[in-house]
């Protein structure tokens, strides 16, 4: 079984699914791929994708009704992918966005050219506020990977490192492929998610990456990255 804790399948709230129908097809594809735990994470990026709490709540209700009818074994939950700013903890406390399934785990992303020092500083600020940052698609921040020193520091602090499933297979470019494989090799990845936006270019496809990881690094590591660790995070409040 597979869990997917980073995707943009809720419709009409960011640059992911555009219609209700597309959302249902994405859920179908995800289920067919083996996903049984799906946490939707719409972008929260003030000025771009922002104050859509009502639309998110109603799309989530529709998704739950659909899953209950068509895929009763599929569990759904909600979070956000926050574009980091210093005020992001205030956004959370104001109820403008949310952590993963109401836990202390906060999925955050940055613009790709973000300097490594800024990412490290942001991670510390989030940790000092009592939340645990989940660094979305860690492999995509190229300035962060001169060597593994910065990654080691984040791991020592307890930051969770997420990789996109397309990256190790080359779907997000050569740089992301090399960097994600280096992280996998080092055992530094905490979990892998689809980051799905649509059915074609950024699809809800995790199984090919699961098979790749199982073949190259072992079935236990694949189970950890695609199921055990995401599930531990989702249920960490229980
Ligand atoms: Fe994303």
109 Cα to the center of ligand 1, angstroms: 8
Residue 112's pLDDT is 82
Residue with tokens 């800024």: 118
12 Cα to the center of ligand 1, angstroms: 15
Q: What are phi and psi of 235, to 5 degrees?
A: -105, 20
183 Cα to the center of ligand 1, angstroms: 19
133 Cα to the center of ligand 1, angstroms: 14
Give the homologous superfamily in CATH for domain 2-234.
Answer: Metal-dependent hydrolases (3.20.20.140)
Q: What are phi and psi of 163, to 5 degrees?
A: -115, 145
196 Cα to the center of ligand 1, angstroms: 7
54-70 confidence digits (pLDDT tens): 999 999 999 999 999 99
140 Cα to the center of ligand 1, angstroms: 11
176 Cα to the center of ligand 1, angstroms: 15
Residue 53's pLDDT is 87
94 Cα to the center of ligand 1, angstroms: 22
Residue 184's pLDDT is 97
Residue 201's pLDDT is 94
3-state secondary structure string across the chain: CEEECCECCCCCCCCCCCCHHHHHHHHHHHHHCCEEEEEECCEEECCCECCCHHHHHHHHHHHHHHHHHHCCCCEEEECCEEECCCCHHHHHHCCCCCCHHHCCEEEEECCCCCCHHHHHHHHHHHHHCCCEEEECCHHHCHHHCCCCHHHHHHHHHCCEEEEECCCCCCCCCHHHHHHHHHHHHCCCCCEEECCECCCCCCCCCCHHHHHHHHHHHCHHHHHHHHHHHHHHHHCCCC
How many angstroms separate the CA atoms of 231 and 236, rounded? 8
Query: What is the pLDDT tens value at each position of the chain, 238 positions in all?
Result: 999 999 999 999 999 999 999 999 999 999 999 999 999 999 998 877 777 889 999 999 999 999 999 999 999 999 999 999 999 999 999 999 999 999 999 999 998 888 899 999 999 999 999 999 999 999 999 888 877 889 999 999 999 999 999 999 999 999 999 999 999 999 999 999 999 999 999 999 999 999 999 999 999 999 999 999 999 999 999 8
157 Cα to the center of ligand 1, angstroms: 23
195 Cα to the center of ligand 1, angstroms: 5
81 Cα to the center of ligand 1, angstroms: 6
142 Cα to the center of ligand 1, angstroms: 17
155 Cα to the center of ligand 1, angstroms: 21
23 Cα to the center of ligand 1, angstroms: 15
174-221 confidence digits (pLDDT tens): 999 999 999 999 999 999 999 999 999 999 999 999 999 999 999 999
8 Cα to the center of ligand 1, angstroms: 7
119-128 in b/e form (b: 16+ CB < 10 A) is bbebbeebbe
- Domain map (residue ranges) of the chain: 2-234
Residue 142's pLDDT is 87
Residue 210's pLDDT is 98
Residues contacting residue 163 through CB under 8 Å, at least 6 positions apart? 137, 138, 139, 180, 183, 184, 189, 191, 192, 193
130 Cα to the center of ligand 1, angstroms: 23
Whole-prediction pTM: 0.96
Q: Is 130 left (phi over 0), alpha (psi -120 to 50) or beta?
A: left
């Amino acid at each position: 079984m597979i869990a997917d804790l980073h995707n943009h399948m809720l419709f009409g709230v960011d640059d992911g699914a555009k219609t209700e129908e597309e959302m249902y097809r994405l859920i179908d594809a995800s289920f067919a791929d083996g996903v049984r735990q799906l946490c939707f994470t719409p972008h929260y990026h003030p000025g771009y994708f922002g104050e859509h709490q009502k639309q998110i709540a109603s799309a989530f209700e529709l998704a739950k009704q659909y899953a209950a009818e068509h895929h009763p074994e599929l569990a759904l939950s909600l979070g956000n992918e926050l574009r980091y700013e210093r005020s992001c903890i205030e956004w959370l406390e104001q109820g403008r966005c949310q952590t993963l399934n109401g836990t202390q785990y906060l999925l955050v992303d940055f613009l790709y050219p973000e300097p490594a020092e800024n990412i490290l500083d942001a991670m510390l600020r989030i940790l000092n506020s009592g939340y645990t940052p989940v660094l979305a698609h860690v492999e995509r921040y190229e300035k962060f990977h001169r060597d593994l020193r910065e990654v080691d520091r984040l791991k020592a602090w307890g930051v969770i490192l997420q990789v996109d499933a397309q990256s190790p297979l080359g779907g997000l470019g050569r740089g992301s492929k090399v960097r994600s494989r280096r992280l996998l090799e080092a055992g530094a990845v905490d979990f892998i998610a689809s980051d799905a936006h649509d059915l074609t270019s950024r699809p809800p496809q995790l199984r090919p990456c699961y098979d790749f990881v199982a073949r190259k690094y072992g079935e236990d590591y694949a189970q950890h990255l695609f199921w055990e660790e995401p599930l531990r995070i989702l249920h960490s409040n229980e």
